[in-house]
Structure formats: C-alpha cells, structure tokens
Structure 1
Amino acid sequence: MVTRNGERSFHGDSHESGTFSVEENPASRTMTIEDEDHGDGGRRLDSDDKLPSVEMIFKGQVEPSWREQLTIRAFVVSFVLGVLFTFIVMKLNLTTGIIPSLNVSAGLLGFFFLKSWTKLMEKSGLLKQPFTRQENTVIQTCVVATSGIAFSGGFGSYLFGMSSTVAGQSSETNAAQNTKDPSLSWIIGFLFAVSFLGLFSVLPLRKIMIIDYKLTYPSGTATAHLINSFHTPQGAKLAKKQVRTLGKFFSFSFLWGFFQWFFTAGDGCGFVNFPTFGLKAFDNRFYFDFSATYVGVGMICPYLINISVLVGAILSWGLMWPLIKNRKGDWYSSELSESSLHGLQGYRVFISIAMILGDGLYNFIKVLGRTIQGFIKQYKKKEVIPVTERDSPQKVSNSYDDEVRTKLFLKDGIPMWVSFAGYVAIAAVSMGVIPKIFHQMKWYYVLVIYIVAPALAFCNAYGAGLTDWSLASTYGKLAIFAIGAWAGESHGGVLAGLAACGVMMNIVSTASDLMQDFKTGYMTRSSPRSMFFSQIIGTAMGCLISPCVFWLFYKAFKDLGSPESQYPAPYAAVYRSMSILGVEGFGALPDHCLTLCYVFFFGAIIINLIRDTIAKKWAKYIPLPMAMAIPFYLGSYFAIDMCVGSLILFIWGKLNKAKADAFGPAVASGLICGDGIWTLPSSILALAGVQPPICMKFLSRGTNSMVDKFLSS
C-alpha cells in the first residue's frame, strides 16, 4: 500500500492529516500505492503542547482496565468491519495497487456501531459497561491489523507473483520450479508463520520510542486526536453527521456498481470501457471509467499525488510507449505479444521498477540519515536508553496530559521475556514451516532473515516515528535480490526471492504498525496490553479473512492477473520481474531498456533531491517519482478518476471549506466502501454462473458499419 504522510500523505498512505503509502501498507495508517510509505513528516501533532488539556476533559471518567477494554462486542464489530475493509483493500490491490488509509473510516464506523449498540442496551436496561475511547481504540487497531494483512500478505504483489498466471507473462527459464499457484491451505499457513514475528521484534522498545524519545508518529497521533474528539459531546454530534454522510454515499456507490454490472456481459463491455476522449485515446488507456472507488481515493489523496499520477500517465502512455511501439521489429521482435516481458511490456514494467527503486533508495537513505541524526541528538542530550521498563522514567514533559498518559503507559507493562520468548518460538516454528511450503526457501535463508530483521524493524519503526514513512517494501525488495541471488537461477531463486520478500516485509511492516498503535493508545490512555492483544487478534483474523476473500476473487474471476482483465494485479508482475532481474541479471531486459532504466532511476533520485533542497513553496509543484511510476504499467484511467475526485473536493472547498474539511473524508470513504463491498455480491454472482443481461460496447463508425453488414447478411 505513495504516502508521504503529510506531504505525500494520503490519509493516509490519505487525507492530508494522514499518510500516503505507495503500496505498502494499506489499511495500516497510510495510504498506499504500492510500495514504500513515503512521508514528509505529515502533521506533527505530538503531544498537546499548544492545545488545551485533553485529559482534563475525561478526568471524571473511570478508566477501564486493560481486560475491560478487550470486549467481545468490540471484536464482533472489528470482525464485521475487518471483512468489509478486506474486500476494499483486496479490490484495490488487484486493480491499481493504490490503497488509501481506512483508519478514519474504521474509527468512525467503530464509534457509530458501538455507540448505537450501547444506546440500545442502555434503553433496555442491559448496559453493563459504557462505551469508552479506549474501546474505540481497540476497534480501530484490530480493524487496521485485520485489513492490513490483505496488503502485507502480498495478494496483489509478491504472493500472487508466484503463480503460473503471472509467470506465464514472461519467458523465464526454469519457470516450473519458480511457480506456486495459490491454495487456501498454504497461504493461511504462510501468513500465520510470518505475520506475528514483527509484533515481538520491537515490543521491548515501546517505552524508549514513545516515552524516552517521544517520537511523533504523525499518523498514530492524528488517529488518537480523532478518537478523542469522537468521545466529546461536540465530536459525537459531528461524528453522527459524518456517519450519515458516509452512509448516503456508501449506498449511492453500491447501487452505482450494481447498475453498471447489468451492462458488462462480455469482454470490453460496460461503462468501465467508455471512450471518454475518443477511441484512439482509449487504446492508449486515456479514459474515465466511472469508478466511484478512485473518485473517492482522489478526494483523499493530496492534489500533488493525483497530478503526479496523471503526469506519469501522459509521459508514459502519451509519449514513450507509442514511440517505443514504433520501434517494434528493431528494439524487440515483432513476433512477441504485447504482454511479453521481452517486448513492449518489458519496457513498461522495468522502467516502472527503476523509478520505484530510485525513489525507494533515496528515501531509504534519507530516513536512515534522519534516524542516525535522532540517535546523535539523543546521545548529545545524554539520554541513556533504559535496559528495562522497570527503570525510572525520565521526565519528558511537565504537562498534565503527559503525566497521566505516561503513568498508565508504564503501569500495564509487558515483560521483556514475553517478547524474546515469543520471537524465538515463532521464528523456530517458521523455520520449520516455510521450507515445507516453499522447498526453494531453505531453513538457513529464513534464519538469516530472522537474525537481521529485528535491527531493520527497529530502524523502520524509529524512522516511521520521525517521518511517518514505513519503508517495509524497500526492505522486502532487498530480500528479493539478496535471497534470490543466493539461491540462484537453477535452484528456484525467483520463487525464493518472492517468499523472502514476504517474510521480511511482514516483520518490518507490523513492527512500525505496532508502534503507531502504541502511540495512539498512549494518547487515548489505552493500555499497551490491550493494544498488543488487539493487534494480535486483528492479525489472526486477517490471516483467515484475507486468504478467503482472495480465494473468492481467484475463483470468481478466471482471468485474474491478466494485463487486460478487470483485476490485472499489476504489482504481481512487477515483483516477479524484480525477482527475475535479481536472479537472471540485466540479460532479462529488452534492447535499450537498461539505458532507459538508468535514466529513470537517477531521474527519480534527482527529482527527490530537488524537492528537498528548494523552497517548500516551489517543491509542492514538483511531481513525486513514486506516484509517477504507477501508471507506467497500468495507464491513466484511474489517474483521471482520481483527478475528478480532486476537482470535486477543490470546488467544494471553494464553496464551503469548513464542510469540505469536515465531510470530505466521509464522502470519500462512502464512495470507496460502497463500490468495494459490491465486489462481494458480484463475485458470488460470478461463482454462481449468473451473467449480466446486456453488453454495452463502443465501436468506431467503420467497425460498426462492418458489424451491421455482417448481421444483415
């Protein structure tokens, strides 16, 4: 799941108060486009230094114990919302890979459902425990953890990239030993083996990160402010209006998806194939496809993200690909199909990879530099890192809010031995299980990853605290190249690299997510134990829900993963191509592709360097390389949808900025959720063999005349 939080912020990987992550973590806290969670700091709402005391508002309330925060009703609501958001994330994974942060929707809907539940129980005299912000935080954490597995599980990237469907799009050698088709059993086993380790890897560092270093974690902080506001009288009133707005646009989006289904009885049929700008533009993937989902995503993403995606589409599909297509027979064989990685598709995929890697490398070095600076700063302040949580806490703030929050945060400590024992036990099980699932992945490959992973997880969690960037997919790509090259081409290196990516990505991603949750829990006075257990329960639910949802897609849509299908899973091909590149070297590239890759790799670095060195008032007009890279493979149709969403929000803001700020995220969430949940009935209809009754197709005048003559003959 292009989020530069705050700046590249989609909040998450989305509204400008959240983050925008390019692929990497979706459902997590940021918007995601495919890979790294980029951020430029986002809203630095650390404590409440310049705000009125939040905790004074809640001073009269009885704080529930950590066990009381983990209620059955909270997990029932979390399960329902987790299923809903998993469908949304899965659909986005398999279409464009751009995933907005859904934590606002999770917090809002969690508040609405439990508030309604407790009001009903109160009227009937059966209410035993009031609804608190701590319980709301548990729901938010659990839902995000559940739907996050749909992203980190690799269903639209490394995991599906192992399939024969994606492997068939290239002409790699030894394809048989480098493929593994999806199956519910091994997917669930793999996810349970790799999804929990990251939670234990940084658990002992929670006090250091949150209390001693007082890291910002902008997304976690923004989420906490949101939840705190819901539980004030004014916030509850606004939340009720926001939920009502979300419901209206949810219904509209769902019904619009249902209406469109009637006209899709065949390939190339329906509103989704409407040639908005003409048939020639349509052939180059320039059209508006009437997707409520991506209009909603466009309303959440910052304007610069949407413009960057459109610029990338114009550069690639408007200029580069038509020019390279004219070199067919010269640069690549005229006998190759357009989907071959040794033909035009190779330029699309590998140039896109070059931009992603260039952007990822730059931001990795940037975040690493900030991390080192943070360490140096802490050292100069002579703030010694405590060995255990029993050590006396340092005085980090004199504010009332910080005092009461710190007291609770340290009260419900989690013993350090739990972290070490949990990590060693899960690592031992994984080393036995993963080689059974992927025989190409030797146990000592897994051991090396688990030795290195805690240090990388710490760096990622620390960097996310400073900048709101999660670079989990960057670490995953490093594992692809390292393990793939180690295994070698003749020993299934392609599949080993993809499996290693999944192992590394899950560890590093969940580590930063857990710290974000601890920050949210700290600011809502939720127990660290309730945060940890809700994350574990949410992850466990995700390990079951996500594979089942993916399996529904996989069985319902037979062309899943094909470049021309409704669900092309673009990053599956991208990740597999990275693994092929790591194993086979540059010999896998078409002619002149390597030169173009160099140009775009260094171009991405230079663009980022310029953005970070010039004045901010000018930097906001420079496109983001990561966002530009996404349409290189897919086309511009979703970019046009997103720009329409931006235009709607822009006009709304000019007419009434206060309402646009308050209800824009609710409208966007409704559009995304309604269209996303329509996927469930459409999948069921497809499995049942129910076909739409009408095919609405658009033909040129000449083709139409030929069809008429044929039908009349």
Structure 2
Amino acid sequence: MADVEIEIEEQESEQLYFPEPSERQLTARAVIVGCLVGSIVSCTNIYIGLKIGWAFGASIISAVLGFSIFSLLNRKLSVLETNIAQTSGSAAGYMSSAAGLLAPIPAMMLLGYNFSWYALMMWSVSVAFLGVFFAVPLRRQVIDVDKLRFPTGTATAETILAMYGDAADALAKARVLVIAGICAGLFTLAYHFVPELEQPPIHEWEWVPGVAYLAVAAAWGFKVYLGPSLLGAGFLIGPRVVLSLVGGAILGWGSLGPYCQSMEWAPGPIMAYENGPRGWLLWPGVALMVSEALGSLAFSWKTFVNAFTMPVAKSLDEEQTVSGHIPNSWWIGGLIGGSILAIIITQFVFDIPWYLTLIAIPVSFILSIVAVRSAGETDINPIGGMGKVTQLIFGGIAPGSISTNLMAAAITSAGASQAADMMQDLKTGKMLGAAPRKQFIAQLCGICVGILFAVPVYFIFTKAYELGSEQLPAPAAMAWKAMAVILNEGFGALPPFAEESIIIAGIIGLAIAGLRQIKSIANFVPSGLAMGIAFIVPAYYSLVMFYGLVVWLIWKAIAPAAAQKYNFALASGLIAGEGLMGIVNAGLTIVGIHAFGDIQLRIRELLQYLGLQ
C-alpha cells in the first residue's frame, strides 16, 4: 500500500483539476463529437499534407468544438468528457499520417503500386493500433516518473480548464473558426469554376510594367496563389519556418533550377521529373530533409540513452493497483493481434516476407520509444527521421526491395505517430485526473472512425489529381521514394551532378542540425526540413504561406490581443474550410464538372440514364 500512496501523491503534484468521483467521463456523446471533429481534421490533413507534407494536430480543436457544440445546446460536457473528446479527436486526426497516407503509401503509388480500399483499411488498422500498444507500457516512466512536459498535451489541458473559466471565450473562438471555414469553403468552391480566383494570371496582364519578367518568374513557379489552407498555415508555423520556405524557394527555383537547366544537367521542361529542373531539385531537397532529420536524432543521443534505460512495463498485478490504469492484458493482447494482422497484410498486399515484418515491428517499437521521449521533451515528433532510420536498416537487410524498404519504414512512422500522440493525450489526462483506461478506449475509437474517413478521402484526391502534379506535389512521398530508389539502385540512377548536390545539401543539413543545438541562436537557424520541402513543391506554395505570415504580423501589430486570442481558430478554419471543400472539388473533377454548364449536362445525362428524360 505504501507504493500506491506514493504514486498517488506524485500524480496529484502535477494535477490542475481534481474531478468528483461521479464526474462523467467516457460517454458516447464525447467520443462521437471527438471522432467527428478529428476525422474532419484528418481529411483536411490529407489535402494539405499531400500539398506541403505537413499534418496538424486535432487535440485543441476537438476540445474547443466539442465544448462549444454542447454548450450551445445547453448540454455542457464535463471537464473529463471534454478530455475524452480531445483524445478521440486527436487519434482520428492523426490517421492521415499514421496510416501512411502522406508519405509511404503515395510513395508506393508513385512507384506503380496500386491498392484496394479494403486492403488499405486493414493496413491502417494494424499499424495505427501498434502505435497505441507501443505507448501503453511507456506511460508510467515518461509521465509519472520522468514527468516530461509534452507541451501539446500540457497546452490542451490548460485550454480545457480555461474554457470552463470563460465559456464565452471558447464560444467566440468556435464562432471565428466556423465563419473562417465557411468563407474558405465558398472561395474554394468558387475557384473550381473560376480558376483565376485561386491563381490570378498577373503575369499575363500586358499593361503591368515589367510583365515579361513576371512571365519568366511565373514559369519557375513565382506566381500569385491564394489557397486559404496554406494562407492559414502561415499563421501557425511561425516566422522561422516560413522564411526558410521562402529562402528555399528562392535558392531552389530562382537560382539552382535555372542554373542546372542552363548547364544542361536538366535540359527538359521546368516541371518535368524525368529530365527537368524539378526532377534535379528533388535530390538536394531530399538530402536537406533527411540529413537534418538524422542529424537532429544523432545530436539527441541522450534521448536514445534515456529511452533504452526505461523499464518497458510493470507487472500485471502492479499495473492494476491504481484504479483506472490500463491492464497489461489489453496492450499485450492488442500488440500480438496487431502484429499478426500487420504480418498478414504486408505479406499478401505488399509481398513482404513475414519474417521481415517480424523484424520491422520490434525495430519500430524501439524507435517509437525515442519518438515518445522527443515529443515529451521538445514537442517535436521526428516521424520522418524515424522512417529514414528504418529505411537505412532495411536497405541493408533487404537490398533491392523497394516495397519492403518503404513499408517497413511505414510501420515505424505509424508507430511513432500514434505512440507520441497517445502520450500527449495521456499527459492531458494526467493533469485533469482522468482514467488512462478510458482514454485508451477513446483512442481506439478515434482510430477506427478516422480510418473510415481518411482512406476514402485519400482515394478521392488521388483519383481526381495525379500524385506529384502541381495540385498534389506530395513532397514527403517524394522524399521517401527518393530514399528508397537510392538504397535500391545506387547513386548511378541520379541525373548529372545530383550526387554532388546531395553531398553539399547533406553537409548543410547536418550543420543546421548542429547549430540548432546552440540555444542562443536556435530561433534564428533556418529549418532544413522547410528548405528541402521548398525545393520539391512549386514556389508559389511557399509564397502563399509568406502572405499568411505577413497578414499575421500586421494583425499582431494592430490588435495583439485579438491576434493572440483568435489566431489558432482563424487559421484552423481556413485550413479546414479549403480541405473539406477540396473533397467536393475533387468529386466534381472526377465526374467531369469543371464549369457551371457542366452541371446541367451531367444532370441531363443522369436523367437519361434513369429513364426519366
């Protein structure tokens, strides 16, 4: 009993809220609203992730909207119910990333592989659940013993408590989010029919002075683009990352691209991957992304050491001494079941031998430990870096097999994504006095519902638009594909002088990772990841996020209180509005509706098909 009393005292030292024993927690309404909000975020993450390679979390938005919806209905959620809403919402929101729909799966499709929707559903379930089961035995060490901060989890707990202190504030934020979403959605629908709204053809306006120069710049991607989601992203990702994107775009598309074309290293059309500057710029861009990610991992060697010295589990009896904890039988049984399912799916869908998947799972568990500690200490989950480590490992274990290389790394990225996400949620729960067992159930519900939304939306976008096109550049997938190709075919597969560019970019990426370790200058060191992405996506994607940053800075200067209060809500609304309406636009593209006149034509065809005309 003494050990139990000590553990309870440690838990209370971090708690901000002490619920009544009878307070409602795991309720159907909390789970449902969280799953729905999180699934919306997951769908928008597919849209924005296939454009710029980033995904945004759903914890705070699920908490705010869940609280606000039921407050408007005069059926207010309890604090612990709101925590369940954010837990299930967070799990659903990250399914776009955990299921590999932003990197490994599109990378496989870029290499010519095709998958059925049900196979992708089963794959998503197996790998996402693995991450949750990886996280459970780590909870006591990183949260109760090490007391890692987990900044997103901490911020979510504080946000939830703030809403109960000032409900009007939460409702105001929700109102801003919804209005921004509606406006962004209407604009997105409008530019489907009038593309000039999204990309005003300024370079074609003959009366503009210097229009000839604008036309040349536009050919290299420096043109006006007004996508609401990326404009909103510019509000959120901060000056350092945005300026790194702009700097990368200028260096890549404004300097290196024209130079490599003039030297005939890439003599083809500007946007051609096969023999054009776009295909050449891919390699230094990927080198920047990979080297900085791996360098950051190397410089975080203490995280590795701490991870490997952690006890991975308590005994079953000890785990169940404190009410509400997750029994070992749950996560061990789930881990065995998820592993078996992953082995079957990778064998029959991706032609990966069962024993290689059996190797990939423990490797993924080890790297998930590192990801969890990294998220706890820095709020950064190095999913890309974890995946690249696995790609390097399997480049040696299974040389010559691109599918094995990619999908083994996909297991790692899924594990890292869901394990760190769940730990953020458990940190929130710890601060609010929630029962981990009930959060565990909510997490599993969020995963299942998130998959039902994310996989179909992924198929809608990839059927409507070509992966690797200007509409869906898929920069993260390009990086994964490039890494697999190099490990499989060697440097001989590269275009002229790309090998030298990789070496130089790799050195720069390592230097950036090193400089980021110096706290006094860390905020002024550019992001190698952002610069690498700017080499891969068209330049105007970087520019529109710069527009967002400028708007945010002006807003902050004019009304600092309002900017601080509504920044996240406004940005989230812009991202969600375009993302959701983007699904509608993709559907219109699939059925061939590109102009208002096409609507009448399709209705007539439908009536004829039904025999009504």
TM over 0.5, shorter chain: yes
Give the Cα–Cα distance (whole angstroms) in 1 for the partners of residues 402 and 141 of structure 2. Answer: 39
Q: CA deviation at 1:317?
A: 0.7
Corresponding position of 1:445: 356
Q: Which residue of 2 aligns with 1:476?
A: 387
- Give distance in 1, aligned partners of 2:268 and 2:365: 49
1:100 aligns with 2:56: yes
Whether 1:315 and 2:251 are equivalent positions in the alignment is yes
- Residue 300 in 1 paired to residue 236 in 2? yes
Alignment of 1:644 with 2:555, yes or no, is no
1:271: which partner in 2?
Answer: 198
Identity rate, percent = 24
- How do 1:544-693 residues align onto structure 2 when only pairs under 5 Å count? 544-555=452-463, 557=464, 559-564=465-470, 566-613=471-518, 616=520, 618-693=521-596
Matches within 5 A, 1:348-427: 348-372=281-305, 387-388=314-315, 410-427=322-339
| Number of the residue aligned with 1:289 | 225
In the alignment, the residues of structure 1 paired with residue 274 and residue 386 of structure 2 have an alpha-carbon distance, to the nearest angstrom, of 25
Residues 115-264 of structure 1 aligned to structure 2 (within 5 Å): 115-117=71-73, 119=74, 131-163=77-109, 166-167=110-111, 179-232=112-165, 234=166, 236-264=167-195
- Check conservation: 2:270, 2:276, Cα contact below 8 A: yes
> Which amino acid counterpart does residue 348 of structure 2 have in structure 1?
K
Choose 179-188 or 623-632, whichever is displaced more.
Answer: 179-188
Q: CA deviation at 1:504?
A: 1.7
The residue type equivalent to 2:198 in the other structure is: F
Q: How does 1:484-523 map to 2 (within 5 A)?
A: 484-489=395-400, 493-523=401-431
Q: Which amino acid aligns with 1:255?
A: L
RMSD: 2.8
Aligned residue pairs total 580
Residue segments in structure 2 that go unaligned for 5+ positions in a row: 1-9, 204-212, 599-613
Once the two structures are TM-superposed, the CA of residue 273 in structure 1 deviates from its matched residue by 5.3
1:228-254 Cα offsets, whole Å, 9 max, x none, are 21122x2x1211111122222222212
**Matching residue's letter, 1:313:** A
Moved more, 135-144 or 255-264: 255-264
RCO greater where, 1 or 2, for CA within 8 Å and sep 6 or more? 2
Q: Is the 8 A contact 1:262 1:694 kept in 2?
A: no
- Secondary structure (helix, strand or coil) at the match of 1:665 reads helix
| SS in structure 2 of the partner of residue 69 of structure 1 | coil
Residues 629 and 335 of structure 1, relative CA distance in 2, 3 Å threshold: closer
Q: Deviations over 1:682-705 (max 9, x none)?
A: 23323333222499xxxxxxxxxx
| Cα offset, 1:337, TM superposition | 8.4
**2:437 matches 1:526:** no
Shift in Å, 1:388: 3.6
TM superposition shift of 1:281: 1.2
**Separation of aligned partners in 1, 2:340 and 2:136:** 18
The alpha-carbon deviation at position 363 of structure 1 amounts to: 1.0
Q: Call closer, same or farther: CA 1:652–1:343 in 2, change over 3 Å.
A: closer
Aligned counterpart for 1:62 among listed residues 2, 8, 20: 20
Q: Which residue identity lines up with residue 293 of structure 1 in the other structure? A: S
**Aligned amino acid, residue 305 of structure 1:** V
SS at match of 1:620: helix
Shift in CA distance, 213/273, structure 1 to aligned 2, threshold 3 Å: same
Q: Pick closer, same or farther for the CA change 1:83–1:202 going to 2, 3 Å.
A: closer
Q: For 1:191 and 1:431, locate their aligned partners in 2 and report how far apart those are by CA, in whole Å.
A: 13
Asked if the contact 2:228–2:574 (Cα under 8 Å) also holds between the matched residues in 1, the reply is: yes
Alignment CA distance shift 1:428-1:144 (3 Å) = same
Is contact 1:368-1:463 (8 Å) kept?
no
8 Å CA contact retained: 2:59, 2:156: yes
Q: Is the 8 A contact 1:371 1:463 kept in 2?
A: no
Q: Secondary structure of the equivalent of 1:413?
A: coil
What is aligned with 2:348? 436
Q: How does 1:12-23 map to 2 (within 5 A)?
A: none
- Any conservation in 2 of the 1:153–1:506 contact (CA below 8 Å)? yes
In the alignment, is the contact (CA less than 8 A) between 1:257 and 1:675 conserved in 2?
yes
Q: Indicate how the Cα distance of structure 1 residues 280 and 63 shifts in structure 2: closer, same or farther if over 3 A, else same.
A: farther
Aligned pair in 2 of structure 1 residues 483, 608: CA closer, same or farther (>3 Å)? Answer: closer
| Structure 1 position 288, deviation (Å) | 2.5
